[in-house]
Amino acid sequence: MHTAHPAYGAERITRELKLQGTDVGRRRVARIISGHGIAGITRRKRSAT
């Protein structure tokens, strides 16, 4: 799933897996992702000028 959607984090991957019928929790997905060294792309905080 990470190769198809590299920006996805644990929450979005969990949502996709549940749509495919896999019963899995967000914390388990996050633990597996971090164990493999995978990280989703985080949004930067926008600074007001």
Residue 2 has pLDDT above 70, yes or no: no
Q: Which of 4, 5, 14, 10 is nearest to 36 (CA)?
A: 10
| Average of per-residue pLDDT values in the chain | 82
Instruction: Answer with the residue of higher pLDDT: 45 or 3.
Output: 45
What's the pLDDT at 39? 76
What is the DSSP secondary structure assignment for residue 36, as one 8-state letter?
A: T
H or E, element range at 34: helix 26-35
